[in-house]
Amino acid sequence: MIKIRNNWTIDEINNIYSQPLLDLVFHSATVHRKFHDPREIQISSLLSIKTGGCTEDCKYCSQSSFYETATTAEPMMKIDEILKKAKQAKENGSSRFCLSTAWRQIPNVEMENILEIIRNVNQLDLEVCATMGMLSQTQAKQLKDAGLHTYNHNLDTGENYYDKIISTRSYQDRLDTLNVVQEAGLNICSGGILGMGESKEDRFNMLKNLSSLKKHPESVPINVLVPIEGTEMKKDPDFSFWDLLRTVATARIIMPQSNVRLSAGRASLNDMEQSFCFFAGANSIFSGEKLLTTNNALPDQDEKLFQILGLYKK
Ligand code: SF4
């Protein structure tokens, strides 16, 4: 019997991550099969409903107002357009619809509009997720009451590397919001970005922090940096697919019930690499041609791969 643990140590995580690769993948695939149907992949869609002009300085992000990128600040999308996209996502097999806004925190003047959007998407029988920056206790409670299922708030990386990628908020701000979200009874979606020049120890620290939450995140998105012209973050030349695979497998082992999601950067993986990740315990993807401002794997390609591997959408 595998116990759910919230007290993994860095040494234990290192030992898991550093096993010979095929032993690690065998281990994670075995854990995966104990907690999940290995043929089932959860499909999420992500829509940016308020793009660009963000006051945070995340060095990887095209939406930050600190960098000159091809992304410009746009007004908030109208509710009708959002609902149209949500219906399309449902028709294409998504069970979850994630709403993203480029904000440090939800502005008070926008709160009622956001709650209305959540209520309406909820009525389409889609799980609604939001990623909108920091939250106060009151805001988290309001989102929950409107029917929000999950709140995304990524830790991005380890604590010691955080100030190399963001200076306008602290790691503790991040952890505080995650606590507020959990206290409000919302599910957490939280993961990180690989390939930003972080060390293995930074990855272990991030995984430790995620697995130390009172309840493990319901979803753990694992992104690979997609470098964007105009931003400061360049891809680490030493980062390889094998680092991604080890991270996916380790996340699966230490957070066995969570959905481990291949997120940004999936478009750069070939079919074999994606298959290896699914075998190692990744069981969720974002579908749709765009992931916020970056390209995503094409839906037709996903369909083909799912058929080859005998996977089905949840
Ligand atoms: S990642 Fe989010 S918080 Fe950071 S700059 Fe981009 S939109 Fe803003």
- pLDDT for 95 equals 86
Spacing, Cα 63 to ligand 1 middle (Å): 6
On whether residue 3 sits in a domain, the answer given is no
277 is annotated as an active-site residue: no
- pLDDT for 289 equals 63
Domain harbouring 261, CATH code: 3.20.20.70
Section 154-163 average pLDDT:
97
255-264: per-residue pLDDT in tens? 999 999 999 9
On whether residue 8 sits in a domain, the answer given is no
Number of domains in the chain: 1
On whether residue 86 sits in a domain, the answer given is yes
Selected catalytic residue, list 169, 261, 266, 277: 261
- Identify which has the larger pLDDT, 42 or 290: 42
Q: How far apart are CA 104 and CA 106, in angstroms?
A: 7
pLDDT band at 93 (very low <50, low <70, confident <90, very high): confident
- pLDDT for 1 equals 84
Owning domain of residue 261 = 42-313
C-alpha count within 13 angstroms, C-beta hemisphere, residue 78: 3
On whether residue 35 sits in a domain, the answer given is no
* Beta carbon of 106 within 6 Å of any ligand 1 atom: no
Q: Which helix (H) or strand (E) holds 295?
A: strand 294-295
Phi first, then psi, for residue 21 (nearest 5°) are -55, -45
Residue 294 has pLDDT above 80, yes or no: no
On whether residue 11 sits in a domain, the answer given is no
C-alpha count within 13 angstroms, C-beta hemisphere, residue 146: 23
Selected catalytic residue, list 33, 174, 189, 203: 189
Contact 231, 276 (CB under 8 A): no
On whether residue 140 sits in a domain, the answer given is yes
Section 15-35 average pLDDT:
98
121 Cβ contact partners less than 8 Å away, ≥ 6 residues apart: 82, 83, 86, 97, 99, 128
Q: How far apart are CA 309 and CA 133, in angstroms?
A: 36
- pLDDT for 47 equals 93
Distance set, CA 156 to CA 99, 148, 280 (Å): 19, 22, 21
- pLDDT for 172 equals 97
98 is annotated as an active-site residue: yes
- How many CB atoms are closer than 10 A to CB 211? 22
Q: Rounded to two decimals, what is the model's pTM?
A: 0.94
Tell me which amino acid residue 282 is. A
**Ligand 1: nearest atom to the Cα of 66:** 5
**Termini Cα distance of the chain:** 26
On whether residue 36 sits in a domain, the answer given is no
